Structure 1
Amino acid sequence: MMVSFFDQFASPYLLGIPLIAVALTLPWMLFPTPPSRWMNNRLIAVQTWLINRFINQLMMPLNVGGHKWALLLTSLMLFLITVNMLGLLPYTFTPTTQLSLNLGLAVPLWLATVIIGMRNQPTVALGHLLPEGTPIPLIPVLIVIETISLFIRPLALGVRLTANLTAGHLLIQLIATAVFVLMPVMPTVAILTAAVLFLLTLLEVAVAMIQAYVFVLLLSLYLQENV
């Protein structure tokens, strides 16, 4: 029974083709594209307003050099939200529960921020490894600790997203299994458990959006240190 709970995190195959590729390309087909007319419909107007608000909130702490990342970070935000939300539907697969995919998103973007910092302002970028006013005996220890914390950032990004989504999916499946088991034996308890399952599903919808926002927000904070 416990093995079947974790089967939902295995990438499904159809005719030998991994369906994770379909799951990764599907979100781009769900967003409406603005027409060539002067006036947009309500859905596109709301979508444009939300995207503009997110860009303003995300780019506010950054200087002009970091504004070049607006399109990339916004696209990543929409992609993560859509994939996380689609994974809550029945008989679907959530690609962001795979640590390899999350690290594949986190490591290149984090490395790009580090390279930008080393290229544009190497003194400031290296200065983050040693806080100002550090006593001389603690300098080697702090440099090692700050270097480790620097290289652990992409791992923390990927593990945070994977762990939150995996834990939520497992909890939903466990409670749903309890509802099916208790229904013929204790219907009242099963109904109460189903109510808890509904509230947990709403919580997971919020978690899916919040974790996507946190992923992009932390990347913007890493970028802020290097531009």
Structure 2
Amino acid sequence: MNLSFFDQFSSPSLLGVPLVLVATMFPALLLPSPGNRWITGRLSALQLWLINLITKQLMIPLNEKGHKWALILTSLMLFLLSINLLGLLPYTFTPTTQLSMNLALAFPLWLATLLIGLRNQPSISLGHLLPEGTPTPLIPALVLIETTSLLIRPLALGVRLTANLTAGHLLIQLISTATTALSSTMPAVSLLTLTILLLLTLLEVAVAMIQAYVFVLLLSLYLQENI
């Protein structure tokens, strides 16, 4: 059976049972759980420092009302970060390469920020649809454009995360296939492609972290507009 480059993005299954839930929840099992000792281990201290750093960065643009979302945003950041990084390991499956999963994360949170704004400050939230000082003939067109821009926000969040991770995985597979194919016929070229593959892998590690941060940061900015 011939395999396609896109087969790596298909949902894994065992005896006909999809393993997406296992791939989604497994990274959380790798995080060290806090103990009852006064002096924690190095790994727990590093985890606590990382959580505090992420929380501070996400809470900077928000006021005190938005700090209630600290637990949700920080948990989402750690969830996406662990999945994206573990997905770079060989023989693994990255759930965040599925658009359906990313939309399932983006749409409810975006809708929650929108409903909070409509409940607490409806005039200000609706005012974002029409910039101040707009000429009267342009009002219908601008309202339509701003409404469309507002409604495609969750789609943009999901597509951005999916496209970046999918493109990176495809590039890694293409270059690794070329490295293997050229190893016997053109060793020098194969060594060059291997160097490119190592550099690309380092780049994908950075992309996995950056895309998780951008996803959550944009959600915090949407929340800032509605509180």
TM-score by length of structure 1 reads 0.98
Write out per-residue CA displacement over residues 83-116 of structure 1, whole angstroms, 9 at most, x where no aligned residue. 0111111111000000000000000000000000
Tell me the distance in 1 between the aligned counterparts of 2:118 and 2:49.
35
Shift of 1:122: 0.3
Write out per-residue CA displacement over residues 192-220 of structure 1, whole angstroms, 9 at most, x where no aligned residue. 10010000000000000000000000000
Tell me the distance in 1 between the aligned counterparts of 2:187 and 2:29.
42
Shift of 1:53: 1.4
Tell me the distance in 1 between the aligned counterparts of 2:69 and 2:123.
22
Shift of 1:41: 1.0
Tell me the distance in 2 between the aligned counterparts of 1:56 and 1:189.
46
Per the alignment, residue 183 of structure 1 pairs with 183
Unaligned stretches of 5+ in structure 2? none
Write out per-residue CA displacement over residues 57-106 of structure 1, whole angstroms, 9 at most, x where no aligned residue. 11111111111110000000000011011111111100000000000000
Per the alignment, residue 174 of structure 1 pairs with 174
Per the alignment, residue 103 of structure 2 pairs with 103
Structure 1 residues 128-139: aligned runs within 5 Å: 128-139=128-139
Equivalent residue pairs, number = 227
Residue type at the aligned position of 1:118: L
Residue type at the aligned position of 2:56: N
Matched, 1:222 2:201: no
Residue type at the aligned position of 1:33: S
Matched, 1:34 2:28: no
Residue type at the aligned position of 1:51: I
Tell me the distance in 2 between the aligned counterparts of 1:109 and 1:2.
40
Shift of 1:2: 8.9
Structure 1 residues 148-159: aligned runs within 5 Å: 148-159=148-159
Write out per-residue CA displacement over residues 18-50 of structure 1, whole angstroms, 9 at most, x where no aligned residue. 111100110110110111111111111111111
Structure 1 residues 57-136: aligned runs within 5 Å: 57-136=57-136
Matched, 1:196 2:220: no
Q: Residue 4 of structure 2: SS of its match in structure 1?
A: helix
Q: Residue 193 of structure 1: SS of its match in structure 2?
A: helix
Residue type at the aligned position of 1:108: P
Residue type at the aligned position of 1:53: L
Residue type at the aligned position of 1:176: S
Shift of 1:3: 5.5
Residue type at the aligned position of 2:195: A
Per the alignment, residue 46 of structure 1 pairs with 46
Residue type at the aligned position of 1:125: S
- Mean Cα deviation higher: 165-174 or 35-44: 35-44
Quickly say closer, same or farther: Cα 1:130–1:122, change in 2 above 3 A: same
Tell me the distance in 2 between the aligned counterparts of 1:81 and 1:53.
14
Quickly say closer, same or farther: Cα 1:92–1:202, change in 2 above 3 A: same
Shift of 1:4: 1.3
Percent identity (aligned): 72
